[in-house]
Amino acid sequence: MAGYSTGHPELVNGAKDIVSTNESVQAVLGQLGNTIDGLSSVWAGGAAVAFNKLMERFREDADKLQKALMDIATQMDDTAATYLQQEEEQAAEMSNITNRLGS
């Protein structure tokens, strides 16, 4: 992965971007679902059953997408916190070494 780098701010901003994207996607999917639900009265018999199953699948998939995006955002936040903690520990250790060397 030469050429790539990251830090605490990038991880935090990435997590925020994912949450924002998730909110936008869920809003669009909600609007689409509401529009499509308005068509449910046109279907009858076997077509209505198939339509309802399709809409159930649509909602389940939308929920899975939302969960996946939120899980990624949470993991990025956790990674950012760990990254910051490790940076602080390394800075403290370097300061300790510098103090021991008398510089």
What is the mean pLDDT of each successive set of 10 residues along the chain, which is 103 residues long? 81 96 96 88 90 93 97 96 94 91 76
Q: Is the dihedral of CA 81, 5, 70, 67 positive or negative?
A: negative
Q: Find out whether 33 and 61 touch, Cβ atoms under 8 Å.
A: no
According to DSSP, residue 44 is labeled -
Q: What is the pLDDT of residue 28?
A: 96
Instruction: Indicate the residue type of 6.
Output: T
pLDDT of residue 43: 85
Residue that is written with structure tokens 């609007």 in the block: 31
The reported pLDDT for the residue numbered 61 is 96
| Fold type of domain 6-102 | Helix Hairpins (1.10.287)
Number of H helices, E strands in the chain: 2, 0
Q: pTM for the whole thing? A: 0.78
Instruction: Give the pLDDT confidence score for residue 103 in this predicted structure.
Output: 61
Residue ranges of domains in the chain: 6-102
